[in-house]
Amino acid sequence: MLQHSGIGVAITGSGSAAPLTSLDNQGLSQVVDTSDEWIASRTGIRQRHLADPAVYLRQLAAEAGQRALDMAGISALDVDLIVLATSTPDDLFGTASLVQAELGAMKAVAFDLTAACSGFVFGMVTASQFIRTGAYKTVLLLGADILSRWVDWSDRRTCVLFGDGAGAVVMQARSESDRLLGFELRSDGNQNSCLTLAYQPEAKALTSELSVGQGSFHPITMNGQEVYRFAIKRVPEVIEKALFKANLSVEQVDWLLLHQANQRILDAVAQRLTVPPDKVLSNMAKYGNTSAASIPIALDEAVRDGRIKPGDVVATAGFGAGLTWGAAIFQWGN
């Protein structure tokens, strides 16, 4: 177990939200040359939820956050810190403060954290540091993304993958126990080009001698084969390192909860770790890849339907753009 000041972390509530509108593979085949069989056999995805233009990230995040607060039995005014993991903010200056206002969590400080599909795991580790140092007692951690804003809907290699949604957990200080048992985080900017949502500058002349770059962001581009190879190699390694720090074996893990990127990746990672299929949580058939939201959405569903029970050990891992990847081992509940 990780050494710290004596203050532990408990994960006491979860929540999730998704846009009401969904698009199944058959409907997507009317947008781009593809089919349900092609998408499902390669990814495991059957449908995805898509936000209409009137839906904002802050609304989805606040809805998920309120459900997590309700499960934890606390009010928004009890929250000391809000961490929003997202790559698709409503405002590039930050959206966490908008979520704070939406919830009425006026005693909380709020900031965004960007680590793409690893964002929720990075956020969990970040939030735990504030709790363990005694700075804050109650943290609302959110993972939310509206990737449909940035998908090239003519690119069938990428547009079939992504969906929109939000998930949340409440993390609280505990003096008698620590439920965050171990973690490992990694980054490799040399592989950044494998998955990007990059700024595309256009020169704008201000004077005869001076130009600045203005423009927008290029839609998501991905080298799927490279991302697959990266994930099936690096994710098992990082989970094993986190388990070592937690002084646990793979056999002691009740649930494997990976970022919901592709069913083939989940299957390959589980196989390499010798985790049986019935311990692997997957909901990507309904949601697709929701980036930072995928882990907390799947967690919330498994908690609410009774699969994840208090005391269960969950090994979770995020991986994606950056490239970034990381794992956290935690026990659910107080």
**Rounded to an integer, what distance in angstroms lies between the CA atom of residue 174 and that of residue 8?**
5
140 and 185 both lie in a single domain: no
User: Is 242 a domain residue?
Assistant: yes
Which of 178, 205, 231 is the C-terminal boundary of a domain? 178
162 and 185 both lie in a single domain: no
186 and 153 both lie in a single domain: no
pTM over 0.85: yes
User: Is 84 a domain residue?
Assistant: yes
- Can you give the pLDDT at residue 2? 46
249 and 166 both lie in a single domain: no
Which of 127, 146, 178 is the C-terminal boundary of a domain? 178
158 and 171 both lie in a single domain: yes
User: Is 123 a domain residue?
Assistant: yes
Which of 178, 199, 234 is the C-terminal boundary of a domain? 178
User: Is 211 a domain residue?
Assistant: no
User: Which amino acid is present at 286?
Assistant: K
User: Which residues does the annotation mark as catalytic?
Assistant: 117, 259, 289
260 and 298 both lie in a single domain: yes
239 and 164 both lie in a single domain: no
User: Which amino acid is present at 176?
Assistant: E
Domain that holds residue 299: 181-190+221-331
Name the domain count of the chain.
2
Exposed / middle / buried, residue 234 (Cβ in 10 Å: 0-12, 13-18, 19+): buried
- Residues near 162 by beta carbon (within 8 Å), at least 6 away in sequence: 48, 147, 148, 151, 220, 288, 289, 290, 291
User: Is 41 a domain residue?
Assistant: yes
Q: From start to end of the chain, where are the E strands? A: 8-17, 22-24, 47-49, 81-85, 109-113, 138-146, 164-174, 180-187, 195-196, 199-205, 211-217, 221-222, 255-258, 313-320, 324-331
Q: 293: closest CA among 81, 148, 102, 190?
A: 148
* φ and ψ at residue 166, rounded to 5 degrees: -150, 145
User: Is 197 a domain residue?
Assistant: no
259 and 167 both lie in a single domain: no
* Cis peptide bond N-terminal to 323, omega within 30: yes
Tens of each residue's pLDDT in the chain, 334 residues:
444 568 999 999 999 999 999 999 999 999 999 999 999 999 999 999 999 999 999 999 999 999 999 999 999 999 999 999 999 999 999 999 999 999 999 999 999 999 999 999 999 999 999 999 999 999 999 999 999 999 999 998 999 999 999 999 999 999 988 999 999 999 999 999 999 999 999 999 999 999 999 989 999 999 989 999 999 999 999 999 999 999 999 999 999 999 999 999 999 999 999 999 999 999 999 999 999 999 999 999 999 999 999 999 999 999 999 999 999 999 999 8
88 and 160 both lie in a single domain: yes
- Can you give the pLDDT at residue 334? 84
282 and 322 both lie in a single domain: yes
253 and 152 both lie in a single domain: no
CATH number of the domain to which 66 belongs: 3.40.47.10
Q: Are strands 138-146 and 81-85 parallel, antiparallel or unpaired?
A: parallel
130 and 29 both lie in a single domain: yes
Other Cβ atoms within 10 Å of 22 Cβ, number: 17
User: Is 138 a domain residue?
Assistant: yes
Q: From start to end of 51-95, where are the E strands? A: 81-85
User: Is 110 a domain residue?
Assistant: yes
Residue 49 near residue 194 (C-beta atoms within 8 A) = no
